[in-house]
């Protein structure tokens, strides 16, 4: 791979780190925006990789896995909140109906 591709991988890695920070602060709109920028930097084909390229790709993969884990945690929290909301709504409806 060329130096240009390596630089693009480094930029993609930096964006991934920024995405993790935004996700930690719950700013998923920024995560989405940064991901679009990151996707444009990732090469379609990797070709022959040097050790340095492998290390950068591995770091990118590791950070991306952490980002996906954070997204899954948030999804589960939202799902639990929705379930609790639905339970509360049904309980309120039952109360209103029985109070009539």
> What gap in Å lies between CA 55 and CA 53, rounded to an integer?
5
Q: Model's pTM, two decimal places?
A: 0.72
Q: Which residues contact 72 (CB under 8 A, 6 or more apart)?
A: none
71-83 confidence digits (pLDDT tens): 999 999 999 998 8
Q: Is 11 exposed, middle or buried (0-12, 13-18, 19+ CB in 10 A)?
A: middle
* 93 HSE (CA, 13 A, CB side): 6
13-50 confidence digits (pLDDT tens): 999 999 999 999 999 999 999 999 999 998 776 667 78
């Amino acid at each position: 791979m060329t130096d240009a591709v390596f630089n693009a991988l480094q930029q993609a890695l930096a964006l991934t780190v920024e995405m993790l920070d935004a996700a930690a602060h719950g700013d998923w709109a920024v995560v989405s925006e940064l991901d679009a920028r990151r996707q444009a930097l990732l090469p379609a084909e990797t070709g022959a990789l040097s050790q340095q390229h492998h290390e950068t790709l591995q770091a990118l993969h590791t950070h991306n896995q952490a980002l996906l884990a954070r997204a899954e945690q948030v999804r589960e929290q939202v799902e639990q909140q929705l379930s609790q909301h639905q339970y509360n709504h049904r309980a309120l409806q039952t109360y209103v109906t029985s109070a009539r």
